[in-house]
Amino acid sequence: MSPTKSGSPADSGMGGAAGPALEVRGLAKSFGTNQVLRGIDLTVPRGKVVALIGPSGSGKTTVLRSLNGLETPDAGTVTVGASGVSGLPALTVDFSDAGVPKKAHSRQVAELRDRSAMVFQHYNLFPHMTVLQNVIEGPVQVQKRPRAEAVADAEALLARVGLADKRDVYPFELSGGQQQRVGIVRALALKPQLLLFDEPTSALDPELVDDVLAVIKELADEGWTMVIVTHELAFARQTADEVVFMAGGVVVERGPAAQVLRNPREERTQAFVRRLL
C-alpha cells in the first residue's frame, strides 16, 4: 500500500500539489435549533494525520460527514488540495450562499465526496454482498473503473490486511475486526485523497482493536492524509501529527499530539484527557 502504488495523495514533490491536503474554514451546522458546529477551522498538511478528539456530542462526526458529503454544512468552505498523483486541481466548496448556481454547487459537493473516503464506526458493509463485492462496488459502479482492474486492486489490498482468504465470504461470517479491515480496504480501493475515520474501533471488542489500529498506523506511516475521530488517546499520541480538541462545536485547542495529550493548555482539554488516559 505504498502511496504511489495505491493512489495515496502524499504527492512527494509531484507538480501542482503545493499547499495543505485539506483546509476547512468557518464550518457551521445546525440541526433545527441545535447549533452543532460553530465555525470550525481545520488544516491538514499533505501526508499528515489529524486526530479529532472531544466529548460525545461535540460535533466531531458532523465535521467528518461534512467532508464526505454526508452532511451539508450551513456555512464555511472546504478546500481539498491539488493532487499530483491523480492530476486533480484543488477544489473549494463554499457552503455559504455565495451565489454559485445550485447545479454547479451539487457537482462540487459530489466531487468533494469523491476525493475522500470514510471508514465508519459500524463498518457499514453491504450484508448481502461478499467481501470482494463490497470492495469493488464503489470503483466499478461509481468510478466506472474496469472490473478486472478493480478486482486485482481489491485482492492486493485484502492480502495486505491479511484477508486474502476472505474474499468470497459475507460480512456476517467475519469478526468485527475483520469487517473493519474490509471497511478500510473498501475506502482505499476508491483511491481517495483523504481518508476519514469515524471512531473506527469503538464498536470492536477490546481484543480486536489492536489489529485495526495497526492497519491505520501502517497507512499513516505510508503517507496517507487522514482525519481520525477517536477516543483512543494512546493511539492518537502514537499516530497523529496533530490533535484537535473540540467541545460544544468549537475547536478548543490544537497542537502537536504530544503537547495536547500530555501537556494541554486549556482546562477543558485537561479534564477530558485526564479522564481518558
**Which window, 43-51, 55-63, 121-129, 155-163, contacts ligand ADP (CB under 6 A)?**
55-63
| Residue of 10, 22, 24, 36 that binds ligand ADP (CB under 6 A) | 36
Residue 241 DSSP SS3: coil
* Whole-number CA gyration radius for the chain: 18
Residue nearer to ligand ADP on the CB measure, 61 or 83? 61
CA distance 229 to 120: 10
Residue 113 DSSP SS3: helix
Site for ligand ADP (CB under 6 A): how many residues?
11
The DSSP output letter for 88 is B
59 counts as binding ligand ADP under rule CB under 6 A? yes
**Which window, 60-68, 130-138, 166-174, 212-220, contacts ligand ADP (CB under 6 A)?**
60-68
Q: Which helix (H) or strand (E) holds 191?
A: none
The residues near 197 (Cβ < 8 Å, ≥ 6 apart) are: 118, 119, 216, 226, 227, 228, 229, 230
256 counts as binding ligand ADP under rule CB under 6 A? no
69 counts as binding ligand ADP under rule CB under 6 A? no
Residue nearer to ligand ADP on the CB measure, 62 or 83? 62
Residue nearer to ligand ADP on the CB measure, 157 or 229? 229
The values of phi and psi at residue 120, to 5°, are: -95, 155
Residue nearer to ligand ADP on the CB measure, 20 or 248? 248
| Residue of 2, 13, 15, 31 that binds ligand ADP (CB under 6 A) | 31
Query: Which burial class, exposed, middle or buried, applies to 2 when counting CB atoms under 10 A from its CB (0-12, 13-18, 19+)?
Result: exposed
Binding site for ligand ADP (CB under 6 A): 31, 34, 36, 54, 56-62
